[in-house]
């Protein structure tokens, strides 16, 4: 009886061992089947539209920094910051006694040169009339008188040019507004010594009735179609108010420091509710004119060498180089040697080598 129990126990152990071995083999088979299959989808084209927010800046339509052209003292300031000015309005007057003295001296030189020229011109005319009688005036005397008259004429013109130059410098002592605008900076007071080498301008005038909204658009989006010439933007000072601006121009070239193209929009700031220098958040609706390839973001893999998707062809994996376009969050736009209907893996990784045998499992994108 003891022997029978031993046989029965041994048989039970053999059965349990066999069952465990079968279970392990079944799990191994299942694991192998899972490793040889991968979730995939069929590539198709779709419309790309995305609303993106870009940091931007408001700058005045026109801005002029007023410097002194000649050295002198600030005699009078006619405006202060915040004052509205009109084109040609007097802003400041400089005092430079030496400039006035130089102008007076140059003007006196003009009178002297004019007197000499009139005298030599009269002498030349007299000699010319006398020379009409043959043998009265030698040919050399006539040429000498003509040369003297021409030299005095040139001296008079030179003196006039010098006087005009000093008159222009004298005009630089009065500083006037170059356009309609607002004085936004004042860096001097009456009595301040100024010159052309001053690092700071005397005054700054800005035309803020129209503001430029400059938006740096990244390289990946510059070929996208905005769909409209107007955009909406907000500023931190008034986050609950949305403003609208109209596209004016594009830079036409990339900024090499940050790989962006500047798009400029114009905002009519008639009530001066916005200030130049404000930072803004511009909202652009970007899209493509024609459908393009959209894939799940996980379908694009990147390593140190390339960016690629994995395509299954005849059950074999192959890497296809792609370029990214507009990123839509869960999906991304790609460009490459692909066709509609290609079978791509939903999750690409460089651990899947080229030539690997895979069975696609189709699910949702």
The two tokens of residue 149 are 């008259």
Q: Is 245 exposed, middle or buried (0-12, 13-18, 19+ CB in 10 A)?
A: buried
68-111 pLDDT, tens per residue? 988 889 999 999 999 999 999 999 999 887 777 777 888 888 88
Which pLDDT belongs to residue 43?
92
Give dist(CA 281, CA 103) in Å, integer.
55
Residue 365 has pLDDT above 70, yes or no: no
Do 136 and 208 sit in the same domain of this protein? no
Last residue of a domain, one of 235, 259, 287: 287
Tell me what the pLDDT averaged over the chain comes to.
84
Which pLDDT belongs to residue 363?
67
Residue 344 has pLDDT above 50, yes or no: yes
Which pLDDT belongs to residue 227?
64
Among residues 106, 105, 142, the alpha carbon closest in space to that of 127 is found at 142
pTM of the predicted model as reported, rounded to 2 decimal places: 0.66
**Do 295 and 304 meet the contact criterion of CB atoms below 8 Å apart?**
no
214-271 pLDDT, tens per residue? 999 988 788 777 667 889 999 998 989 999 999 999 998 998 888 999 999 999 998 8
**Confidence band of 18 (pLDDT split at 50, 70, 90):** very low
Region 304-318: mean pLDDT is 91
Among residues 282, 350, 290, the alpha carbon closest in space to that of 325 is found at 290
Do 243 and 310 sit in the same domain of this protein? no
In a domain, 184, yes or no: no
Give the CATH number of the domain where residue 133 resides: 1.10.287
Do 283 and 209 sit in the same domain of this protein? yes
Among residues 293, 290, 267, the alpha carbon closest in space to that of 278 is found at 267
Do 238 and 281 sit in the same domain of this protein? yes
The two tokens of residue 263 are 């798009």
Q: Which range, of 7-21, 98-112, 157-171, 267-281, averages the lowest pLDDT? A: 7-21
Do 307 and 350 sit in the same domain of this protein? yes
C-alpha count within 13 angstroms, C-beta hemisphere, residue 154: 6
Do 295 and 334 sit in the same domain of this protein? yes
| Tally of domains in the chain | 3
Do 226 and 279 sit in the same domain of this protein? yes
Do 274 and 295 sit in the same domain of this protein? no
Among residues 168, 173, 161, the alpha carbon closest in space to that of 109 is found at 161
Do 118 and 148 sit in the same domain of this protein? yes
Q: How far is residue 353 CA from its own chain's centroid?
A: 43
Do 158 and 219 sit in the same domain of this protein? no
Do 277 and 304 sit in the same domain of this protein? no
Instruction: Give the range of the structural domain holding residue 145, as residue numbers without chain letter.
Output: 97-172
Q: Which helix (H) or strand (E) holds 16?
A: helix 2-35
**Do 229 and 248 meet the contact criterion of CB atoms below 8 Å apart?**
no
Q: Which range, of 228-232, 324-328, 361-365, averages the lowest pLDDT? A: 361-365
In a domain, 28, yes or no: no
Which pLDDT belongs to residue 97?
78
Which pLDDT belongs to residue 11?
40
Distances (CA, A) of 199 to 51, 196, 254: 44, 9, 31
Give dist(CA 104, CA 244) in Å, integer.
57
Residue 185 has pLDDT above 50, yes or no: yes
Bridge partners (DSSP) of residue 207 are 62
């Amino acid at each position: 009886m003891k022997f029978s129990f031993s046989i029965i126990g041994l048989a039970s152990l053999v059965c349990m061992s066999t069952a465990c071995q079968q279970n392990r083999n079944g799990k191994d088979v299942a694991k192998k089947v899972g490793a040889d299959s991968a979730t995939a989808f069929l590539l198709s084209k779709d419309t790309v539209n995305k609303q993106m927010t870009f940091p931007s800046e408001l700058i005045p339509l026109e801005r002029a920094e007023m410097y002194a052209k000649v050295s002198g003292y600030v005699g009078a300031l006619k405006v202060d910051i915040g004052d509205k000015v009109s084109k040609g309005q007097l802003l400041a007057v400089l005092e430079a006694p030496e400039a006035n003295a130089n102008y007076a001296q140059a003007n006196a030189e003009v009178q002297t040169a004019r007197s000499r020229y009139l005298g030599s011109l009269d002498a030349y005319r007299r000699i010319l009339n006398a020379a009409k009688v043959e043998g009265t005036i030698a040919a050399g005397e006539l040429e000498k008188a003509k040369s003297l008259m021409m030299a005095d004429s040139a001296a008079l013109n030179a003196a006039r040019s010098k006087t005009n130059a000093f008159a222009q410098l004298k005009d630089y002592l009065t500083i006037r507004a170059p356009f309609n605008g607002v004085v936004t900076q004042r860096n001097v007071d009456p009595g301040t010594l100024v010159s052309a080498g001053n690092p700071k301008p005397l005054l700054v005038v800005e035309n803020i009735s129209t503001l430029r909204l400059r938006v740096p658009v990244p390289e990946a989006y510059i070929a996208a179609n905005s769909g409209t010439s107007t955009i909406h933007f907000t500023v931190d000072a008034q986050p609950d108010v949305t403003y609208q601006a109209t596209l004016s121009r594009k830079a036409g070239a990339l900024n090499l420091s940050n790989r962006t193209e500047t798009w400029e929009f114009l905002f009519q700031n008639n009530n001066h509710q916005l200030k130049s220098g404000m930072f803004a958040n511009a909202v652009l609706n970007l899209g493509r004119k024609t459908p393009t390839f959209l894939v799940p973001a996980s379908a694009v893999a990147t390593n140190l060498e390339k960016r690629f998707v994995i395509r299954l062809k005849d059950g074999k994996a192959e890497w296809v180089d792609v370029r990214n376009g507009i990123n839509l969050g869960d999906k991304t736009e790609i460009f490459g040697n692909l066709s509609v209907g290609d079978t791509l893996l939903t999750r690409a990784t460089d651990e899947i080598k080229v030539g690997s045998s895979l069975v696609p499992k189709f699910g949702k994108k």
